């Protein structure tokens, strides 16, 4: 009999969701954990095996072990945080997703080019501080989870607060509106895009400044920060869903032109801010499962419409892999570097 495949991932971010989904779809499951998280992952009965490393950067050394277990790697946010682009590309272990997308995602310029071609509205970008003519947000390169971002009122404020910065950064128009993160899944097997769920982030301290009246803030030395600590669910005005789907469709369509032929497939997220005239502005795209989907391990109102059973994004990934195996088409859902 054929040995079953194992779904393997790093023990953090959305690993519980991914591995629970994998188990529900009949796969064996493996978490690579560190000393602090080992106990957590061992405590769940849907995790078949836990391999412990001292640092997540040791993941590359484990690939032969994973291959012995017939593993398929499902990447999440920690993979881009803890492994380099080169390491991603060096892996030949079966990998869910298209690594060619990584270059387009990692470079803010390429990402902008991609989204512009998909007819997506983005905040204006400023090249230098002198060009600033409105409030902006300064984003440090490589910053994770909004750390170190700065809200800046004008060119003078920019001079004063960025002079000491050593890191590279981008300057983006600050959009005043509500942030909404839309989680999609594109199935290459069915050529179909689904909206899985959506969330808003809970960020400290920007999400609490509104609790202090503006008049009371005057003279206080407090500026907004954007460090993410959690997520909460949102359902969108139904009339705005059609445009959400349109944006996702066009992002996938253009991805097939720029990093084709497979393009972007599987889970992805577009991070939007919606203004009072109900326009979406896109801050960023994330080309894999995002942590906001953890709210919906039991499914979301949107995934229920399609499945009538609990369908998390993690489970949807496992279902796609399963469907690929059942139709003898595993290569369609893996990066082309995958040696089967």
- CB closer to ligand AMP, 230 vs 310: 230
Question: Nearest approach, Cβ of 339 to ligand AMP (angstroms)?
Answer: 27
- CB closer to ligand AMP, 14 vs 338: 14
Distance between CA atoms of 262 and 265, rounded to whole angstroms?
7
- CB closer to ligand AMP, 138 vs 324: 138
- The answer to whether the CB of 144 falls within 8 A of the CB of 81 is yes
Q: What is the 3-state secondary structure (H, E, C) of 249-287?
A: HHHHHHHHHHCCCCCCCEEEEEEEEECCCCCEEEEEEEC
- The answer to whether the CB of 321 falls within 8 A of the CB of 189 is no
Range 120-159, binding ligand AMP (CB under 6 A): 123, 137, 144-146, 149
Spatial CA neighbour of 187 closest among 293, 332, 335, 312: 332
Range 34-93, binding ligand AMP (CB under 6 A): 77-78, 81
Question: Nearest approach, Cβ of 137 to ligand AMP (angstroms)?
Answer: 5
Question: Does 11 contact ligand AMP by CB under 6 A?
Answer: no
Bridge partners (DSSP) of residue 203 are 228
**Site size for ligand AMP (CB under 6 A):** 28
Question: Nearest approach, Cβ of 152 to ligand AMP (angstroms)?
Answer: 11
- The answer to whether the CB of 181 falls within 8 A of the CB of 199 is yes
Question: Nearest approach, Cβ of 336 to ligand AMP (angstroms)?
Answer: 26
Residues 6+ apart with CB under 8 A from 42: 50
**Among 44, 169, 174, 307, contact with ligand AMP (rule: CB under 6 A):** 174
Q: Kindly list the distances between the CA atom of residue 297 and the CA atoms of 85, 294, 313, in Å, as whole numbers in the listed order.
A: 29, 6, 8
Question: Does 312 contact ligand AMP by CB under 6 A?
Answer: no
Question: Does 291 contact ligand AMP by CB under 6 A?
Answer: yes
Question: Does 283 contact ligand AMP by CB under 6 A?
Answer: yes
In residues, how long is the chain?
A: 340
Question: Nearest approach, Cβ of 120 to ligand AMP (angstroms)?
Answer: 13
Question: Does 297 contact ligand AMP by CB under 6 A?
Answer: no
Measured from each CB, the residue nearest to ligand AMP is 145
Q: 3-class SS at 217?
A: helix
Tokens 């942030």 belong to: 179
Largest CA distance in the chain: 72
- CB closer to ligand AMP, 100 vs 282: 282
Site of interaction with ligand AMP (CB under 6 A): 12-13, 77-78, 81, 123, 137, 144-146, 149, 172-175, 179, 201, 203, 226, 228, 230-231, 271, 273, 283-284, 291-292
């Amino acid at each position: 009999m054929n040995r079953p495949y194992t779904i393997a991932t790093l023990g953090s971010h959305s690993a519980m969701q991914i591995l629970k989904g994998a188990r529900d779809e009949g796969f064996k499951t493996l978490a690579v954990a560190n000393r602090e998280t080992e106990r957590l992952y061992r405590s769940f009965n849907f995790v078949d095996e836990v391999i412990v490393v001292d640092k997540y950067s040791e993941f590359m050394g484990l690939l032969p072990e994973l291959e012995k277990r017939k593993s398929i790697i499902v990447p999440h946010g920690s993979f881009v945080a803890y492994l380099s682009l080169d390491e991603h590309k060096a892996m030949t272990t079966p990998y869910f997703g298209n690594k060619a997308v990584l270059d387009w995602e990692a470079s803010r310029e390429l990402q902008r080019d991609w989204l512009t071609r998909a007819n997506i509205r983005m905040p204006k970008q400023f090249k230098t501080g002198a060009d600033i003519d409105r409030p902006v947000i300064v984003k440090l390169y490589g910053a994770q989870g909004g750390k170190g971002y700065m809200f800046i009122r004008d060119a003078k404020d920019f001079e004063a607060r960025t002079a000491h910065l050593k890191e590279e950064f981008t300057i983006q128009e600050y959009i005043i509106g509500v942030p909404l993160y839309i989680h999609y899944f594109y199935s290459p097997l069915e050529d179909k895009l689904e909206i899985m769920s959506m969330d808003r982030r809970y960020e400290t301290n920007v999400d609490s400044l509104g609790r202090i009246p503006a008049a009371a803030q005057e003279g206080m030395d407090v500026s907004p920060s954007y460090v993410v600590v959690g997520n909460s669910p949102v359902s969108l005005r139904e009339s705005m869903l059609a445009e959400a789907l349109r944006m996702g469709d066009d992002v996938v369509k253009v991805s097939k032109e720029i990093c084709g032929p497979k393009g972007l497939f599987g889970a992805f997220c577009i991070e939007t801010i919606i203004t009072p005239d109900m326009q979406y502005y896109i801050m960023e795209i994330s080309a894999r499962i995002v942590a906001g989907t953890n709210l919906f391990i039991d499914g979301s109102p949107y995934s229920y419409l399609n499945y009538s059973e609990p369908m998390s994004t993690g489970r949807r990934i496992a279902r796609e892999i399963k469907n690929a195996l059942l139709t003898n088409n595993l290569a369609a859902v893996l990066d082309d570097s995958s040696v089967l």
